[in-house]
Amino acid sequence: MKCRTVALGFVFLAASAFAADVDGKWTGTMNTPMGDVPVSFTFKADGANLTGSTTGPDGSETKISGGKVEGNNISFSVNLDFGGMPFTMNYKGVLSKDQIKFTLDMFGMPLEILVKKST
C-alpha cells in the first residue's frame, strides 16, 4: 500500500514538472471583425491561483481577476468600464510550451486569441 502511495505521488509530481510555465509576458493579436488588435498579458502562477494583467491597444494596464490554473488550462476575467458601462470579458485558454490559445467571450461572441511567450 505504501509503495502505491509513493508511486502515485511521483506520478503527480512528474506531471506537474512537465506542465507548461505560464509565468511571464505573452503577446499576440486578437482577430476582430474590425481587424487585428495587438494584445499582451503578464502572468504569475502561485499553485492554482493566477494573477497578472493585460495591456490594451492604448497602453493602459488592467489587472485580471479570478485567475485559475488547472493543469494546462487557465482562465480569468478582465473587468472594464467604457464611459460608465461596465462589462466583463471571460478568458479560457490552453497552455502549451510557448503559446496559449484563448477563447474570449465578448458580449456573447467568442473570439480566438493566440499569444506566444516573449523572451
Q: Mean pLDDT, consecutive 10-residue segments, the chain of 119 residues?
A: 44 44 93 84 96 85 96 94 87 94 86 90
pTM, 2 dp: 0.78
pLDDT for 82: 79
Which residue ranges make up each domain of the chain?
22-117
Strand ranges for 17-60 from DSSP E:
24-32, 35-46, 49-55
Q: Which residues contact 51 (CB under 8 A, 6 or more apart)?
A: 43, 44, 63, 64, 67
Q: What is the CATH number of domain 22-117?
A: 2.40.128.120
pLDDT for 94: 97
